[in-house]
Every structure is written in structure tokens, then in C-alpha cells.
């Protein structure tokens, strides 16, 4: 249908604009790392000299706060909330041998940033596909934000 064609076209466009996004399609676990990379790029393009940031040894949460601080208040609120939720889900996975209700957490994450009409995934494969698409969209938006800031310098 037209909806899935548009989603596919969007993903192909995002992958073409930033080839690193293609990593999400071979390994969805790369999503958190790629989003962190995009947040760092956003911050680094916003400052006059990014070199001291490398020495700061900032945590993901600190990079995220810096990224939010570089945007006008109230802009991209859903994007930042999604990234914060994604980080919590990732931390729960990384620090727990068992992660109860994982499917529900992933569905909630996808639903948070999904279009109207969200339906729960019927299969693990469908859930993974939806998660990859959502992560690619968020990465693409962050990448575009960094590019926009860079072009204004």
C-alpha cells in the first residue's frame, strides 16, 4: 500500500543521506550508538571549538542535555523524549540479565514516535523492522539538525 511505500522511500532516502544509517538495517542494536553519534555531531557543530569536548568524557545523558540546550526551548520535544526513553530501554537491557516485558517496552517506544494509527507488531520481525525505521528516522532528523547548524556557520 501507499503507506509502506512511503516508509520504504523515507528509509532509502535517509540511508542515502547518511550511509551510517544503513547499519541499523543489519544490526538494530547499533541504534543507540548511532543516535549518540548524531547527538554528539549536533553539539560539536554548535560550538566554536569541539576539541575540549573530547576530553570531557561526557555520558550519553550529558551529551543529550547539551544537544537539547542548543535548540530553542520547546522545539523537538518528542524527539528528545524518544531519545531519553530509548536510552532507558537500552540501559535496562545492558544491565539486566532478564528484561521482563521487552516487547511492550519496544512497542511503547515505537508508539511514542509513530504516526497515528499505531498497531502492535504481530511478530518479532515486524517489531524489529518498525524499531529500525523509527531509529533511522530519529537519526536522520538529528543528522539534518547538525547539517543545518553547520551550514549556518
What count of other Cβ atoms lies within 10 Å of the Cβ of residue 38? 24
Distance CA 112, CA 89 (A): 13
Question: 58 or 88: which carries more pLDDT confidence?
Answer: 58
In whole numbers, what is the pLDDT of the chain averaged over residues?
79
Mean pLDDT of 75-93: 85
Question: 38 or 11: which carries more pLDDT confidence?
Answer: 38
Q: Is pLDDT of 102 > 80?
A: no
Q: 18-22, 87-91, 118-122, 134-138: which has the minimum mean pLDDT? A: 18-22
Question: 62 or 92: which carries more pLDDT confidence?
Answer: 62
Q: Is pLDDT of 24 > 60?
A: no
Q: 66-75, 108-117, 136-145: which has the minimum mean pLDDT? A: 108-117
DSSP sequence for 105-123 = HHHHHHHHHSPSS----SS
Amino acid at each position: 500500500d501507499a503507506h509502506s511505500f512511503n516508509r520504504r522511500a523515507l528509509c532509502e532516502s535517509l540511508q542515502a543521506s547518511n550511509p551510517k544509517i544503513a547499519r541499523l538495517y543489519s544490526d538494530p542494536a547499533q541504534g543507540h550508538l548511532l543516535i549518540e553519534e548524531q547527538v554528539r555531531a549536533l553539539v560539536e557543530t554548535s560550538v566554536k571549538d569541539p576539541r575540549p569536548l573530547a576530553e570531557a568524557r561526557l555520558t550519553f545523558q550529558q551529551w543529550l542535555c547539551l544537544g537539547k540546550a542548543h535548540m530553542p526551548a520547546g522545539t523537538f520535544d518528542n524527539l528528545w523524549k524518544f531519545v531519553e526513553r530509548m536510552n532507558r530501554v537500552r540501559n535496562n537491557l545492558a544491565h539486566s540479565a532478564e528484561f521482563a516485558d521487552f516487547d511492550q517496552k519496544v512497542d511503547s517506544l515505537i508508539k511514542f514516535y509513530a504516526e497515528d494509527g499505531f498497531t502492535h507488531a504481530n511478530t518479532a520481525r515486524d517489531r524489529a523492522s518498525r524499531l529500525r525505521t523509527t531509529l533511522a528516522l530519529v537519526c536522520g532528523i538529528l543528522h539534518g539538525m547538525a547539517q543545518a547548524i553547520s551550514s549556518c556557520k
